[in-house]
Structure 1
Amino acid sequence: MMRPDDLSITVYLHKAPVDFRKSINGLAILVEAEMELNPFEKALFAFCNRQRDKIKVLYWERNGFCLWYKRLDKERFKWPNKQASDVITLTTQELNWLLDGFDLWSNKPHQTLNYQSVI
């Protein structure tokens, strides 16, 4: 069984909102046609609806597709802006943060320092 906390699993985020009437077959077609990825690889494919209150995660497990679904009662998922590329790659840790409500795109790291010498 694929474990969502497995660090070797890549998470692909479909940036554009998806019609959530789509189920396994429709989402697998989106993975192949729009994301240009293989839906049978060891990966998670995450989709969000237009209101950003629902997420579906599709993945292949040995002999069939699995579909995981989360619906929020009050809040909204933080989703990447339109300037980001069509497909975004996340780690499983980042997916967990996204599911917990963190905004991965507004966080900024410390400034990069480029020194030439320690003296």
Structure 2
Amino acid sequence: MLNDAKNLQAVYIVCGYTDLRKGIDSLSNIISQTYGMDPFQSGTLFMFCGRKTDRIKALIWEGDGFLLCYKRLEQKASKFQWPRNQEEVCKLTSQQFRWLMEGLTIQPKKCIQKVDHPRLV
């Protein structure tokens, strides 16, 4: 489920460290009270990462209740490239979400920039 975000309206990651012992109520309180967002937005996935960057939790409102997902990577060397700015929630594009789930950073250091109108030489 977490590797595919096609049917989601939005994906947000809560940057920094989150205590992954927290459950649905505590995570939804972080979303609403710390960041002033509505955790009851249908089709919106909120993702959290702990100090060990090999596991994440995700919370989504499905209209009749919350779905709490937990993912742990099995290979010891595998890590999510999670942004660590504590005061931030980032909205991800579908490309950034795919990169994150593949173990890549959501902000590549170097990428090819698109050009609106190429100039002819």
TM range, smaller chain: 0.7 to 0.9
Q: Residue 89 of structure 1 corresponds to which residue in structure 2?
A: 91
Segments of structure 1 that go 5 or more residues without pairing to the other structure are: none
Q: Residue 27 of structure 1 corresponds to which residue in structure 2?
A: 27
Matches within 5 A, 1:1-119: 4-6=5-7, 9-42=9-42, 43-73=44-74, 74=76, 75-82=78-85, 86-111=88-113
DSSP-derived class of the 2:40 partner = coil
Deviations 1:66-116 (A, max 9, x none): 01110012211001243x96110013442232112121223433257698x
Shift of 1:10: 0.8
Whether the aligned pair in 2 keeps the contact of 1:59 and 1:65 (CA below 8 Å) is yes
Segments of structure 2 that go 5 or more residues without pairing to the other structure are: none
DSSP-derived class of the 1:59 partner = strand
Name the CA distance, whole Å, in 2 between partners of 1:51 and 1:13. Answer: 16
Paired letter, 1:110: I
Name the CA distance, whole Å, in 1 between partners of 2:114 and 2:93. Answer: 22
TM-score, length-scaled by structure 2: 0.79
Count of matched residue pairs: 115
Name the CA distance, whole Å, in 1 between partners of 2:87 and 2:108. Answer: 16
Paired letter, 2:83: P
TM-score, length-scaled by structure 1: 0.80
Paired letter, 2:51: R
Q: What percent identity do the matched residue pairs reach?
A: 35
Whether the aligned pair in 2 keeps the contact of 1:5 and 1:93 (CA below 8 Å) is no
Query: 1:96/1:106 Cα in 2 relative to 1: closer, same or farther (>3 Å)?
Result: closer
Query: 1:81/1:25 Cα in 2 relative to 1: closer, same or farther (>3 Å)?
Result: closer
User: Runs of at least 4 residues of structure 1 off by over 3 A?
Assistant: 111-115
DSSP-derived class of the 2:97 partner = helix
